[in-house]
Structure formats: structure tokens, C-alpha cells
Amino acid sequence: VLHFNPMRSAAQRQELVRCVIAFREFFVGAIAERRARPRDDLISDIIAAQETGTELTNKEIRDNCIGLLVGGNLTTSDLIGNGVFTLLTHPGEHAKLKTDPTLINAAIEEILRFASPVDSTARTAPRDMAVAGCPIGQAQVMVTHLAAANRDPKQFKDPDAFDITRERAAHIAFGGGAHICIGAPLARLEAQVALPKIFERFPNLSLVDETLVWKSLPFFRGLEHLRVRACSAPLRPPGASARALTARR
Ligand code: HEM
């Protein structure tokens, strides 16, 4: 996460370097271990692909493993956090989901659109070009704001409304083109399982009244923490007060 923070201090930078080295060493070890003793897992499959002719250097295997672990971590926990927050702040839509649990997939798509956990991505121009009339030189980097595109009134009717039954139009919360998120099916599945489980376990979940702190990192849209009050009715002894749970990452 420090990697994405342009405001990191000198001490944080040192910590970042230490972590990057440790992270690389961890995967170099894991890859060597799988090469010696393959298992039924992704790293072993990537090594098998390399050994059967796919052009992949050892460094590419290591860096792809790091990309998968990093890419699938903060993003999915933010999707779940943003989902809980958005449903609790839109009781009408939450009620629709409670009445018809088959709406869960549509609800996750609407959360991805309305509260996109990755709000931007970037592209490097392969040649001189113009985008919407704006000249871009070869090798210039463009930051593309996915969250803004996901609220585009030309694409979505009443874009600032959170509506889990809206007529489906394609959002771009997972990016697009050759670099579209490789983990999108897993991310969707995690949220489709986690959100119903949370609300099934804590049907009376409510927000604790406090100032929300959103992450200040560029690219990511998620809360630093989300305090909720959870009454787990079946397990609560008579007379016991509701517990305030703190969901921290
Ligand atoms: C809600 C969860 C997630 C969101 C919102 C998300 C979003 C994104 C976005 C916007 C991109 C950039 C796409 C582009 O530039 O066109 C991306 C790329 C990527 N994501 Fe995800 N992601 C999520 C979950 C995951 C998971 C679970 C994994 C892995 C298990 C993952 C792995 C990656 C990787 C490896 C890339 C780079 C793909 C490439 O450059 O070819 N992501 N993701």
C-alpha cells in the first residue's frame, strides 16, 4: 500500500524498500519450492506453463505472483466495506435486497459502479495521439478516472442514485481492454458470498455515528475503518447490550 502513497515519509520509504525485498524473497522461495515439489495451486500451474514452452522468465513469474497478491487484497476488502456502508446508508435498496436475495449479483454490480473500490487506472500513449481533442505525446501517461466514468450521465440514467434494480449497463470498475482486472470473477464471488453472510449473521447491523475517514491513497476508494453496531440476536443473552464491532483491516 505504501507503494501507492506519493506522500510517504523517508521512514515509510525505508519500510517500503524493506517490504518489497522481503516480498520478493518470499515468492522466490515459494517458486523454488513448487518447482521442486509441484502442488495443486496457481504457482505450480504457472511453472508448468513455463516448463512446457510458455515464454515466462522467473522474474515475470515472481512479479505476477506479487501482482496477484497485492491486486486481490485491499480491493476486495474495500468492495465488502463499501458494500456494507452503501447498503446501510440506502435502507430502501437494502430492504429490496432483503426481500429478494436473488438481487445479490445485481447489488454487487451496482456497488462496484456506485462506490468503485479502484477509482482510477493509467495508460501510456504508444504514439502521439489526441484523446477527446486533447493532444497526448508518445510515452505520456494518462490517468483515467474509472469512478467518474461509472457516474457518466450519458451511460447511466440518474447516475448518482444507488439503485440495485437499475437497468443493467456496463460499468468499468475492473478497467478494460488488455489489462482488464484478471481477478474480477474472484472479487465478485467473494462479495456475493461475504455480504449476504454478514447481513445474515447480523440482521440489525447499523452504523456507529462517527466521522468517516476515507483512505487518502490515490487509486483506491475505501474507508480506513467502518464502525458498526451488530446485534446478533440468537447469541445475545437477555438484557445484554449491543456490541460495537470495529471492522479494521
Ligand atoms: C473489487 C475488487 C477489485 C477491483 C475493483 C479491481 C480493479 C482493478 C482495476 C481497475 C485494474 C486495472 C485494469 C485496467 O487498467 O484496465 C485491475 C488490474 C488487476 N487486478 Fe484487479 N481488482 C479487484 C480484485 C482483484 C483480485 C481479486 C485480483 C487477484 C486475485 C486482482 C488482480 C489484478 C491484476 C493482477 C491486475 C493487473 C492486470 C494487468 O495489468 O493485466 N484484482 N484490477
Pocket around ligand 1 at a 6 A CB cut-off: 67-68, 71-72, 75-76, 79, 117-118, 121, 146, 173-177, 179-183, 186-187
Q: Give the residue, by CA position, lying nearest to ligand 1 atom 27.
A: 72
pLDDT (mean) for 147-164:
97
Residue of 174, 193, 221 to test ligand 1 pocket, by largest number of atoms within 8 Å of CB: 174
- Looking at the DSSP assignment, which residues form a beta bridge with residue 141? 124
- Across the range 115-125, mean pLDDT stands at 96
**What is the residue with the minimal CA distance to atom 21 of ligand 1?**
181
How high does pLDDT run on average in the chain?
91
* Proportion of the chain above pLDDT 90, given as a percent: 82
- Residue owning the nearest CA to atom 43 of ligand 1: 181
How confident is the model over 165-188, as a mean pLDDT?
95
| Residue 193 DSSP SS3 | helix
Instruction: Flag the least confident range among 136-145, 150-159, 171-180, 224-233.
Output: 224-233
- Residue 180 reports pLDDT greater than 80: yes
Strands (E), the chain: 120-124, 129-131, 134-136, 141-145, 206-207, 225-230, 243-248
Interatomic CA distance for residues 123 and 139, integer angstroms: 9
Residue 244 binned pLDDT confidence (cut-offs 50, 70, 90): very low
Count Cβ neighbours within 10 Å for each residue of 96-119 and write b for 16 or more, e otherwise: bbeeeeebbebbbbbbbbbbbbbb
- Distance (angstroms) between ligand 1 centre and the Cα of 212 equals 26
Cβ-proximal residues to 192 (8 Å cutoff; 6+ apart), any chain? 104, 105, 108
- Which pLDDT does position 209 carry in this prediction? 85
The atom of ligand 1 lying closest to the CA of 178 is 41
Asked if residue 108 lies in contact with residue 195, where contact means CB atoms within 8 angstroms, the answer is yes
- Give the C-alpha separation, 121 to 127, whole Å: 19
Q: Cα(first)–Cα(last) distance of the chain, in Å?
A: 12
* 89-93, 98-102, 154-158, 233-237: segment of lowest average pLDDT: 233-237
Report the atom number in ligand 1 closest to the C-alpha of 146.
Answer: 10
What pLDDT, on a 0 to 100 scale, did the predictor assign at position 229? 94
Q: Which atom of ligand 1 is nearest to the CA of 64?
A: 35
